[in-house]
Amino acid sequence: MIFLKTEDEIELMRAANQLVAATLAEVCKAVQPGVTTAQLDRLAEEFIRDHGAEPTFKGFPNPYGGPFPGSICASVNEIVVHGVPSEEIVLHDGDIISVDCGTLLNGFNGDSCYTFQVGEVSTDVKNLLRTTKESLYKGIETAVAGHRIGDIGYAVQTHCEAQGYGVVREFVGHGIGREMHEDPQVPNYGKRGQGKQIKNGLCIAIEPMITMGTHEVYMMPDKWSIKTRDGKPAAHFEHTIAIHHGKPDILSSFEEIERIEATRGQTIS
């Protein structure tokens, strides 16, 4: 069942998502060679709790194993999503790390993800990041009242596949509100004019997960981390949006992250 949000609820969603944006910016500041993903996780958890919210991911149940131990998913290089923060995983120059973060604030959820560059990454990897991020905005642009969910996936898929990249099928975007995952599912692939109609008050997380090679993935023995079958890198960018006055209203934000990237010469778009 899809829960359309009122104006007041959209503003609560915006607050939760702005906190995610601020948390991701804090993490961005700390991303550098030598840092462990566990350090980034602690920093994020403390920041979220200091702002009166709960890290939604912490303790998230898993049908295949134990609950998620972290407050962020920290997915390095060929890990697509759901990377478990670890003292053993140290960032190196040239790595990329997708940091996905969720907050629960005043009863509503925020959810956003950004793939950060560690030091200087190769041109090939930078192109993957650019295309994935562009595809997120192509998807968002199509999310207007009267269109259908399939239009979003079509926009993401055609943009990424035109560059020869893979679109992960097993994980998708989603409705979001009082629950982190609500109906409808929002795949990053699809056909124009298919799926549920997009209406005012719909809140969804759009999150392209794009690979440099094959779109095939598998689950690691930790029962969380999802890796590309061919070991090539993957990128993941996510915004939570509301359909507001017929148009997409981005509730999360990359503004602060982009400002930090610019100071490091890491601008990707």
- Shortest reach from residue 113's CB to Mg ion, in Å: 5
Chain centre distance of CA 66: 22
Kindly indicate which of the ranges 114-122, 217-225, 234-242, 258-266 contains the residues binding Mg ion, using the contact rule CB under 5 A. Answer: 234-242
Collapsing DSSP to helix, strand or coil, 68 comes out as coil
- Between residues 117 and 188, which has the closer beta carbon with respect to Mg ion? 188
Collapsing DSSP to helix, strand or coil, 160 comes out as helix
CB 184 within 8 A of CB 198: no
- Range 204-219 burial, b when 16+ CB lie within 10 A, else e: bbbbbbbbbbebebee
- Shortest reach from residue 33's CB to Mg ion, in Å: 25
Task: Please give the Cα distance from 28 to 51 (Å, whole number).
Answer: 18
Task: Please give the Cα distance from 140 to 53 (Å, whole number).
Answer: 27
- Between residues 44 and 230, which has the closer beta carbon with respect to Mg ion? 44
- Shortest reach from residue 53's CB to Mg ion, in Å: 15
- Shortest reach from residue 98's CB to Mg ion, in Å: 9
**Cβ within 8 Å of residue 227, ≥6 positions away:** 78, 79, 80, 217, 218, 219, 220
- Between residues 83 and 90, which has the closer beta carbon with respect to Mg ion? 83
- Between residues 100 and 151, which has the closer beta carbon with respect to Mg ion? 100
Positive or negative torsion for Cα 213, 219, 221, 225: positive
Kindly indicate which of the ranges 48-56, 111-119, 129-137, 227-235 contains the residues binding Mg ion, using the contact rule CB under 5 A. Answer: 111-119
- Shortest reach from residue 163's CB to Mg ion, in Å: 23
Binding to Mg ion (CB under 5 A): which residues in 172-231? 205
- Shortest reach from residue 263's CB to Mg ion, in Å: 26
The conformation of residue 5, written as its DSSP 8-state character, comes to P
Judged by CB under 5 A, the residue of 41, 95, 100, 182 near Mg ion is 100
Burial-class residue 264 by CB neighbours within 10 Å (0-12, 13-18, 19+).
middle
Kindly indicate which of the ranges 11-19, 110-118, 133-141, 155-163 contains the residues binding Mg ion, using the contact rule CB under 5 A. Answer: 110-118
As given in the structure block, the two tokens for residue 181 are 């995952």
- Shortest reach from residue 236's CB to Mg ion, in Å: 8
- Between residues 78 and 238, which has the closer beta carbon with respect to Mg ion? 238
Kindly indicate which of the ranges 81-89, 131-139, 222-230, 232-240 contains the residues binding Mg ion, using the contact rule CB under 5 A. Answer: 232-240
Judged by CB under 5 A, the residue of 78, 95, 111, 261 near Mg ion is 111
CB 83 within 8 A of CB 74: yes
- Between residues 107 and 246, which has the closer beta carbon with respect to Mg ion? 107
As given in the structure block, the two tokens for residue 5 are 């949000």
- 250 binds Mg ion, rule: CB under 5 A: no
CB 5 within 8 A of CB 203: yes
Q: What is the contact surface with Mg ion in residues (CB under 5 A)?
A: 100, 111, 113, 205, 238
